[in-house]
Every structure is written in C-alpha cells, then in structure tokens.
Amino acid sequence: MKIGMTCYPTYGGSGVVATELGKALAQRGHEIHFISYSLPFRLTHYHERIFFHEVEMVDYPLLEHPPYAIALAAKMSEIAAQVGLDFFHVHYAMPHAVSAFLARAILGQGAPKIITTLHGTDITLVGNDRSLFPMTRFALEQSDGITSVSHYLEAKTREVFETTRPIRVIPNFVDTKRFTPQGRPYLREHLAPHGERILAHLSNFRLVKRTPDAVRVFAEVRAALPAKLLLIGDGQDRPQALHLARCLGVEADVIFLGKQDDVQSLLATADLFLLPSQEEAFGLAALEAMSCGVPVIATKVGGVPEVVEDGKTGFLLPPGDVESMARAALALLTDRQRHAEFREAARRRAVAHFDTNLIVPQYEAYYREIAEN
C-alpha cells in the first residue's frame, strides 16, 4: 500500500507513534509518504520506502497567520496525485483530518481513503473548545475510518461528540528490541557516578504533564536516599521545574537533558519512571520505560491503567498526590527484591501486549478493511 502519513513532527506521543508506525510499515513492504511542515524528529535514518514532503507556508502581507491547514491540504492532494496514495492516515483530527477532507475534495473520484487516529489532546482539549467543536466533529464524520489509542479515549470521544461512528481501538506500541533493559555501557556511571538511584521523566513539558510534580516527588525521595532525576524533553514548564529544583535544594541532582533521540538508552539507566500527568490518553512514555524494564510511578488517569498494572508494574495514584507518589517510589527503591520483580513484570507486559510486531499488523488489517468498504 501507499500511505500518506501526517502528524505533528515535534516532541510528543502522537508524532512518535506516527513516525514509528510509518517506519514499521515500510519495513513490512509498504510505501510511506510523510507530509508535514518539518521532518518528524524520530525519522533519523534513510529508508528506501520512506519519503518526506515538506509543507511550505505561503508568505503574503495580507495573511497575518500562515494558513497551514490550507497549505497542508494542497500538498496532500499534490502528493496523492503524483504517487497514487491509497490512504491519508492523519494523526490528530485538528487540523489534519480537515486538511485530508479538503485534499480529497480537490482530487475527486479515486481520492485516497481517510483514516484519522485520535491521540487525546485533539479530543479532550481541542474538541472541547466550542469554537472548534463543529469542525472537529465534521472531520471525524468525514473520515473513512477512526482509530483511538485506548479504550478510555474511545469512550471520551463518544461522550464529547455524541458520535455513533465505529472507532477501532489500536493501542500504542513499542519496539521491544530497541527499548530494552540493556542501555549504553558506562552511561549510568556517568549520570550517577556515586551509585545514586536514578529517576526519570520524559515528556514535552506541557502543563498537562505536571513536570514540576516530578521534581517535587524527587525532592522527597532525595531527602531519604542519594538519587538523581533525569528530565528528558523540553517545553513551557521547563523554567518552573528548574526554579522549583533550586527552591527545594535539589538542583545539583536534577539533570535537564532536553530533547534526546536516544531515549531508550537513557530510560534503560533508570530505576523508576515518573509520570505525574493530569491527563493521559495512553501514556506512551510509560510504555517505553516499561519496555526498558523500568517500573512506573504514575497517576491513575485516562488510559494509563490500560498500560501500567497497579501494584505489579508500577503504582497509580491521584494527580497532585506528591507524598503518596514519593512513598510508592521509596517502597520500591528500598526493597531490591520487590523492585526486581516489578522490573521483570514491566518488561514482560510490554513484550507480551504492546510489541510493534503485535500492533502494526492490526493497522494493516484495518487498512484492508477500510479499502474493501
């Protein structure tokens, strides 16, 4: 199949999933055309069946804000006509599904089918904005197929938009051969030279991720035993997290790593992963940590309970309950046998339920189903 893949190419779960899906599909013999305003950040190596098409913005004095959705639709229709795409697979309803609808209207008969994958924020935040509500609902209704990354998100979509459209739940996935408990040699010694325990947090540092809470949890852990905190990623909450680390007296032990490509090696060095989010449609970062054999201390929100087994692969607690998260972290860090059991269970669950080779064939089957319909 020839598939046009559109996503936000920046640091975030939806872009990661779209890119990894495209790479996996290309490995399985399909031709993938990424269409976006910049190269997806995890698309780092050449592959003979992966192509990137940049959406160039119109620079015109009367246009105060560049019309990205229009430019994207034009590029999507152009590429579809050139290479004969079978599908537009768009990640996020707004504005990507709208752009796909416009491209289909431009192309007319024989245009690619539209599959929209929902990742969370497009429904829980954008979809709830009343000014965007009609357009988002229209985009969903015009899609030939809709998938969501969790059962939670499927139910939330039906609740918000009162839609009866079929929604196929296909969970996020992880390459368990790349995200393994074996990291780069000597990396742990470099990050924790005195044998400190390592906690990690990976996100785009948006408000909903509650990154400062990760610092608060770490400060309580650090008061009880020597430890380091790896903050992987960047975003609007970075200055607050840095300020909080200074105020709590743990700045020397909080390592701001910024955006990283080799997150698997960093996660593999960690003893615990912190995900204190206010809302999560799935929790891809937690899954990647679990695949590296790292137990997760997370909040019991959204789709996270579909990934993290409370009391087996980690602990789930209410958002903002920093004290309970710290107690749960210390309970594992101070009990080596229990920590080892959680590590093994986390890795086992990732391999058994969320491996790339288990999930990507579900997308292939769904493509065939939509094509036949």
Q: What is the 3-state secondary structure (H, E, C) of 171-226?
A: CCCECCCCCCCCCCCCHHHHHCCCCCEEEEEECCCCHHHCHHHHHHHHHHHHHHCC
Domain ranges of the chain: 2-172+356-372, 187-353
pLDDT at residue number 26: 97
What ranges in 192-321 are assigned the alpha helix state H? 211-224, 238-247, 263-268, 284-291
pLDDT at residue number 263: 94
Separation CA 290–CA 284 (nearest Å): 10
pLDDT at residue number 169: 98
DSSP state of 355: B
Ramachandran sector of residue 110 (left: φ over 0; alpha: ψ -120 to 50; beta: rest)? left
Separation CA 307–CA 79 (nearest Å): 37
- C-alpha 373, offset from chain centre: 29
Element (H, E) at 279: none
Query: Taking Cα atoms as reference points, which of 161, 173, 25, 159 lies closest to residue 89?
Result: 25
- C-alpha 311, offset from chain centre: 24
CA atoms within 13 A of residue 303's CA, in its CB half-sphere: 28
**Multiple choice CATH, 2-172+356-372, 3.10.20.30, 3.30.750.24, 3.40.50.2000, 3.90.1300.10:** 3.40.50.2000
Give per-10-residue mean pLDDT for the chain (373 aa).
Answer: 93 86 96 94 86 86 77 96 98 92 95 96 68 87 96 93 92 97 90 96 94 98 98 94 96 95 95 96 97 98 97 98 98 97 98 98 98 91
Asked whether 120 and 91 are in contact (CB, 8 A), the reply is no
pLDDT at residue number 131: 80
Place of tokens 């999930």: 359
DSSP state of 310: B
Question: Could you count the other beta carbons within 10 Å of the beta carbon of residue 136?
Answer: 24
| Type of residue numbered 359 | I
pLDDT at residue number 124: 67
Q: Report the CATH number of the 187-353 domain.
A: 3.40.50.2000
**In Å, how far are 17, 190, 354 from 296, measured between CA atoms?**
20, 23, 16
- Comparing 2-172+356-372 with 187-353, is the CATH topology the same? yes
Question: Which two tokens mark 338?
Answer: 């229990």
**In Å, how far are 71, 177, 188 from 260, measured between CA atoms?**
29, 19, 16
Phi and psi of 324, rounded to 5°? -65, -40
Q: Any residues with CB less than 8 A from the CB of 52 and at least 6 apart, and which?
A: 33, 34, 36, 39, 40, 43
pLDDT at residue number 134: 86
Element (H, E) at 24: helix 13-27
Question: Which two tokens mark 88?
Answer: 């537009």
